[in-house]
Structure 1
Amino acid sequence: MAETLLEQTRGLHEDMEHFERVICKDLKQETKSHKDKLFQSHRVRKRLDQIQESARKLIKIYEDEDKARKEEIEALGGEDKVFSKFYDRLKEIREYHRKFPNHELTEAEDDTPLLKEEPHVEFTGEEGLGRYLDLHDLYQRFCNLRQQQQAGKGGKKGKGGAGADDDGAITRVDGDGAEVAEGGAGGAPEKSLEYYEYLTSFSDFSSLPRAQRMSKGFSEYLEALLAYLTGFYERTQPLAQLGRTLTKVEEEFAPRWEAGQVAGWEDRGVPAAPSASGLELEAFSSAEELEILGADRLKEALTQLGLKCGGTTKDRAARLWLTRDTPLEKLDRKHFAKGVVPPCVAADPAAAAKATAQARAVALLEVKVRKMAELLVNVIADTKGKVEKKQAQTYEEMQAELAEAEAEVAAPDDEEEDDFVYNPLKLPLGWDGKPIPYWLYKLHGLNQEFKCEICGNQSYWGRRAYEKHFKEYKHQQGMRSLGIPNNKMFYEVTKIEDALQLWKSIQDKAKGDFKPDDEEFEDASGNVYSKKTYEDLRRQGLI
């Protein structure tokens, strides 16, 4: 027989209450290690998903689109043969539970297996159970994009936005569409990016050229980076509502984009084309005369116009001479640098809309990546610390650390450490929770007790703690209660009577108009100086 709708409803409600009890019991468990906290969060997340699944089924039953639930309730409430129908239904329910004993009701269920369940969460060796990020693949991908940008896609003169100048330097296009020399005979090549530097700046895209950010490869890189960061966050923080956070980011992004307030994308992907080169080309009669200006000046003028500035001096002069009689709107697109929108294209609504849509998609990905970097700021800091530590480790130390991490992952949870610490001498505990060595205890004088009556007979163990307490709030409050200033004169004074007598003697000397600063000193020649002047002259050997 099929399970009745009413029985399904009762069972689903029971399951939801059961999962709620399991969640409460699980959260009451004490979690000591990072692994325990991670598994507990994933268990709770699994129970919440089961509760939501049961709730969806209940909603569907209560909506009762096929009226089956209503008919079933009416059948139970008929006027004729009420008891016979009731016992018939009771017999069906008992028969159902006899066939499916796993669904039998029990007064007290054993939730121990659920509370000790170890969810399967995949982490790489570099991630260390979610403590660190593993961005090595994305780092290599980003380095490849940089190399492609430096060499240009195809890297040949006259194609793309990059080329070789007459001095052999390779150029790239900067954020404004200008080509910047990367290296060659006239300059050093750009420094390679280290993994530590990548961890510091992987969410900062302001220094990247616009041409690189608008490329298809960079968009795919951003999608892969965002997918990894969101996946890592969901694996380490399963109870966080990441979907809502990213949805809110998109909602806040839309009005900022329309207003041109997104950093680095104020022009919304369609920059205004330049119109003046800063040179009066009418003063020249031919392109050969322009060559007199030199390669650097021609390059500067071409950059202002958004044109390609690679090639020899003759090529640059010829390219600039085209703008003397031909407006920028009528120039061929091949003359413009990569990443610069020609005026003819900018005037085309379809082309401008396409460029804007592409730029908006890239800008949204960048904003999401920056948000994920904010959420994972502590993990990023720990990852950077691990990279720094790894750079200073030997191979043997790396192997020992790896073995220790594997042992931690393989250690069963039921092997709990003994909380009892054998400490018959009552030595202070160190950073590892164990008593410090006795020789260190004696070295720091922690066996010596110093009492301060001003602090209410408080005991301080060790000379260091005793000297430090004179600047602490408790001692200062005690001196303030006695009406005595807490200055150098009362250093090492711990008895109330001694402090009051010293304060009284200081006040008596003050009444006699005696001030230490009024002391006078006389040299061998009979000259009289103040104490400060005399000490300065004597220290310099002048008297």
Structure 2
Amino acid sequence: MDNVLEKQRSAHEDIERLEQAIVDQYMDDAKTHREKLYNEHVVDKFLTRIAEKSEYLYELYEDKDGLRQSEMEALSGSSEFSEFYERLKVIKEHHRKYPNEAVVPPEMEFIYLAQKKDESDYEELEKLFSGEESTGRYLDLNTLHTMYINLKGVKKLDYLQYLSEFDDFVTVYPKAIKTTEDYKTYLNELFQYLHSFFRRAKPLYDIAALEEEALLEFNDEWEQGKVAGWEDVDSTNHDLFCPACQKQFSKQTVFDAHLSAKKHIKAQKKLDEQGSDSSAAIGTVDNVVGVKDDKRKAIAWKERLISKYAEALADFREESKSNVERKQALTDKERTLEQEQEKVEYVDQDSDEDDDEKIYNPLKLPLGWDGKPIPYWLYKLHGLGVEYPCEICGNYVYMGRKAFDKHFQEWRHAQGMRSLGIPNTRQFHEITKIDDVLALYQKQRKEGSSAEAKADIVEEYEDAEGNVYNKKTYEDLKRQGIL
């Protein structure tokens, strides 16, 4: 039927069926993480369809072309019976034209969807995530960590530290790099990943409400100059800010004088050529705060959004850190065994109802290869509760003797030795104080000149009868033919 009233009735029916389908989906007893996530994605699709149908229904009720009003008048007027028979004639004509047309009830779509759930549906869900994300359980920031390490002037954090501090834009990221293109690219990639992870791992989370709340808070703090890390930006005097040069001037005379400089003219010309694309490199969400002309505000706004996302994903972050710590404690054999179990017995692991429950770990013991806390006796046996700080590594604390002995050959200690200008050789192992390392290095340099002379005394030789001589005595006796 082409009439408006029938379209409205059909839209209302579709919305009711979608609402019932959501209820049925939640009635399904999903026990594993994978099943719960699959249900959330299905419900998200239903909610999207409800929103589309509601928007379509709203347009019909608006009746901008007046068709609905004319139909109502025709049905309620004096010619209501003639209108009824006219529509009945149209229906009969349709069935006469298509006598054997199959009719599929609308509810069959949702019945089929409920019965269709099989392993192939879960495979489609798993394709949305990387292997490190483990179907939305953990964050995978390895690529972003590599981008972070390549930024100039930042603290060199390992992956575990990066997971804890990637959203600390005040202390971790120097102010000097925040206007560089590399930092803007990195910031945009970090924002895009967290936003995408929300849509994949928490499809029902109201991101729009989170962004709206962050926007109101950010604009208020920006106007007052209280945005963390950007307090020195004068956001109140927009008249003395040059969007082409991205500089804030303190006086009107200085601002007017710089307008005739060649550098400003060149920057202004470049800005005019780029047009509205000047802020595109930072992301389209920046436009909502009116930051097309002030890139500093765009960067600060993106940082605020990332911080809000990280705050909302705090549980995922902690789970990711625990997972990284657990994998670092695995041997190659255990890691290979774990990968094989994930491939062969994935369904059996997912069927465990305790997978999603919080593990009781009051002593904060490290996790073993099976994801459970190791026994306390093993924790004490390996001395994992003993702290070994290393000043060369930036006062990084290693838990347990094994991790401490191993770290002398790792990148953090090697980089610390390189910064001191000292080779990371075996002689400097077991030394963690900078003063001690420098003192030993200076001593070795002083003794380096007499190293060859000492070799004649230190090296020992043995004759055929088993007598032991130093190098010098042995060579003298051999030249004299005594040996």
TM-score, normalised to structure 2, is 0.56
Are 1:248 and 2:254 an aligned pair? no
* Deviation string, structure 1 residues 63-111 (Cα, Å, up to 9, x no partner): 22222233334444453453533532442575698676345467x8862
Matches within 5 A, 1:83-98: 84-85=85-86, 87-91=88-92, 94=95
1:138: Cα distance to partner? 0.5
Q: Residues of 2 paired with 1:255 and 1:135: CA distance?
A: 31
Paired amino acid for 2:143: D
Aligned to 1:205: 169
1:234: Cα distance to partner? 1.6
Aligned to 1:318: none
1:406: Cα distance to partner? 3.2
Are 1:406 and 2:313 an aligned pair? no
Matches within 5 A, 1:89-488: 89-91=90-92, 94=95, 101-104=102-105, 111=111, 113-114=113-114, 116-117=116-117, 118=121, 120-121=124-125, 122-146=128-152, 149=153, 192-207=156-171, 208-268=173-233, 347-348=254-255, 357-407=294-344
Q: Residues of 2 paired with 1:393 and 1:205: CA distance?
A: 32
1:260: Cα distance to partner? 1.1
* Deviation string, structure 1 residues 440-491 (Cα, Å, up to 9, x no partner): xxxxxxxxxxxxxxxxxxxxxxxxxxxxxxxxxxxxxxxxxxxxxxxxxxxx
Report if the CA contact (8 A) 2:291-2:298 is conserved.
Answer: no
CA separation of 1:342 and 1:18: change in aligned 2, threshold 3 A: closer
Paired amino acid for 1:380: R
Structure 2 spans left out of the alignment, 5+ residues? 236-245, 265-289, 354-483
Secondary structure (helix, strand or coil) at the match of 1:234 reads helix
Q: Residues of 2 paired with 1:29 and 1:346: CA distance?
A: 71
CA separation of 1:85 and 1:38: change in aligned 2, threshold 3 A: same
CA separation of 1:66 and 1:101: change in aligned 2, threshold 3 A: farther
Are 1:55 and 2:19 an aligned pair? no
CA separation of 1:49 and 1:102: change in aligned 2, threshold 3 A: farther
Q: Residues of 1 paired with 2:314 and 2:22: CA distance?
A: 29
CA separation of 1:86 and 1:358: change in aligned 2, threshold 3 A: closer
CA separation of 1:377 and 1:219: change in aligned 2, threshold 3 A: same
Structure that is richer in helix per residue = 2
Report if the CA contact (8 A) 1:268-1:360 is conserved.
Answer: no
Matches within 5 A, 1:77-88: 77-80=76-79, 81-82=81-82, 84-85=85-86, 87-88=88-89
Q: Residues of 1 paired with 2:72 and 2:38: CA distance?
A: 43
Report if the CA contact (8 A) 2:291-2:297 is conserved.
Answer: no
CA separation of 1:345 and 1:195: change in aligned 2, threshold 3 A: farther
* Deviation string, structure 1 residues 229-283 (Cα, Å, up to 9, x no partner): 111012111111112211210111001011011111111279xxxxxxxxxxxxx
* Deviation string, structure 1 residues 188-226 (Cα, Å, up to 9, x no partner): xx7x42111111110112223211122221122111101
Q: Residues of 2 paired with 1:346 and 1:139: CA distance?
A: 45
Aligned to 2:397: none
* Deviation string, structure 1 residues 150-172 (Cα, Å, up to 9, x no partner): 8xxxxxxxxxxxxxxxxxxxxxx
Aligned to 1:445: none
Q: Which has the larger radius of gyration?
A: 1
Q: Residues of 1 paired with 2:213 and 2:346: CA distance?
A: 36
Q: Residues of 2 paired with 1:354 and 1:22: CA distance?
A: 42
CA separation of 1:103 and 1:72: change in aligned 2, threshold 3 A: farther
RMSD, aligned CA = 3.7
Give the % identical residues.
Answer: 31
Q: Residues of 2 paired with 1:24 and 1:229: CA distance?
A: 29
Paired amino acid for 2:218: F
